[in-house]
Amino acid sequence: MVDRTTSFDDDDLPVNINGEVHLPKLDGQREGPFELFSLVPSRPFFPRGFYWDEGFHLLPILDFDSDLALEIVKSWFNLVDDQGWIAREQILGDEARSRVPADFVVQSSAVVNPPTLMLAFTQLLEKAQKPGIQQNVDEIEGDLTKDQLGSILINNPSLLNDFTRDIYPKLKLHYDGFRASQQGEVDEFERGSNREIYRWRGRTSTHSLASGLDDYPRVLPMDVAELNVDLLCWVGVMTRSIKKVAEVLEIPEDVEIYSQIENNIIENIDKFHWSEEDKTYCDASVDDDDEHVLACFKGYISLFPFLTKFIPEQSVDKLEHIVDLLADPDELWSEFGIRSLSKSSEYYRTAENYWRSPIWMNINYLVLESLAHYNDVSSAYLSDTLKSKIDDVYTNLRANLIENVRSEWERTGFVWEQYDDQTGSARGAKNFVGWSSLVLLMMSMPASLA
């Protein structure tokens, strides 16, 4: 069920008597039929494909069956419509519909989700380019060996190139549609010639379901002037990813275009979202005089330029502020993982408390990966003290996450959706072996960076 007419660019959204802004009621029309080959977050609770989850689902699979991962990627991108849109939830069939509340069945084509599939696809392309055994598919004789199963495409450059070239038009269409639909207001607020600024569509005063971070605090009051740092970073991920695809396909004119966009994104992350006062990254809006203001809620949002590796490797001052934020028990550090919202926030553990304190494995995985990344690429710029900080956070965080997931599995018999930041206790949906399975990749990481 899709609504293709409702706009979220109106300043005059309806307001109830409590002052909370609510979305206009969506008028859905049935479309399809569609089909999708997908993983799911939790078969008992979420038996449907989620666009934001799927890229994380694929990461543990890449090393075991890259052919399967590519088949899933292709199936998702076959859903791209002529506007470049993919529905963030794939509610296909009776089983999926039976687990979706009525209010969430209709989806708006103006609303997107974090493009994690691009992240997974480019990781696979990078893996394929590493030195290793590569074989022409025509040279394979007889039965496949165990080592060959699941890696035919990745070990055969011509096949992988054909696969990539086949889906590239869909990737471009999706990329262009995503950017156009989430473009922030530039001219109205005289924000300059660099137009790489973005705003999630479809939020209310309490929730931004499009962002995937649901009840995480955002700019209030709501305004079309809002700019979201996590969304800017996700567009950056898409840009870096599609640039990589263009490089693999040897399309230099596209590489040049995407390189310029990527540079513009890096520039605007600092220009519009870094708070010198709070020493962190923040969402933004304007005040009553249309002057630029920042709305800083320290937590997962603050980390996004770090998580997506858009902090320049030489910017060790900003990097150190992020590491200090991670390591501070009065902010994001807990003995069970990095909490989603700072302990010092007025919104900490309030209301729904879905992304306002709990520990989520997908973000914690990105934290570990980014710590390892900057420990490597920024090595020449790091002081001994900062190197030690990075290693301490990485070493202890990895051990804490693995141990807590293991102990809660032993206690309950399940892997869970999220974990309590104060007790480590399981929360949310059980049997959540979607992105919580990233603990397997954590286990395969080095025990320390030293």
From CA 336, how far away is CA 333, in angstroms rounded? Answer: 8
Is position 386 within any domain? yes
Is position 240 within any domain? no
From CA 295, how far away is CA 273, in angstroms rounded? Answer: 9
Helix ranges restricted to H, 94-217: 94-98, 116-128, 157-181
Q: How far is CA 343 from CA 296, 350, 380, in A?
A: 14, 11, 33
- Which residues have C-beta within 8 Å of that of residue 156, sequence separation ≥ 6? 134, 135, 136, 137
From CA 441, how far away is CA 58, in angstroms rounded? Answer: 11
Number of Cβ within a 10 Å radius of residue 108? 24
Nearest Cα to Cα of residue 268 among 223, 222, 228: 228
For residues 134, 377, 60 and 209, what is the CA-based torsion angle, rounded to 10 degrees? -130
Is position 131 within any domain? no
Is position 121 within any domain? no
Cα angle value 303/305/310 (rounded, 5°)? 150
From CA 21, how far away is CA 14, in angstroms rounded? Answer: 6
Is position 195 within any domain? no
- Catalytic residue chosen out of the listed positions 3, 214, 223, 247: 214
Query: Average pLDDT by consecutive 10-residue portion of the chain (450 residues)?
Result: 67 49 68 89 92 97 91 96 94 83 80 94 81 49 58 78 94 98 93 96 92 97 95 98 95 98 98 98 96 98 98 98 99 99 98 98 99 98 98 99 99 98 98 97 97
Give the count of domains, the chain.
1
Number of Cβ within a 10 Å radius of residue 5? 11
pLDDT computed for residue 95 by the predictor: 80
Contact 106, 3 (CB under 8 A): yes
Is position 315 within any domain? yes
Whether 313 is a known active-site residue: answer: no
Q: What is the domain extent for residue 403?
A: 311-450
- Catalytic residue chosen out of the listed positions 215, 408, 417, 420: 417
Nearest Cα to Cα of residue 310 among 213, 233, 228, 375: 233
pLDDT computed for residue 418 by the predictor: 99
pLDDT computed for residue 159 by the predictor: 85
Whether 283 is a known active-site residue: answer: no
From CA 250, how far away is CA 253, in angstroms rounded? Answer: 9
SS3 129: coil
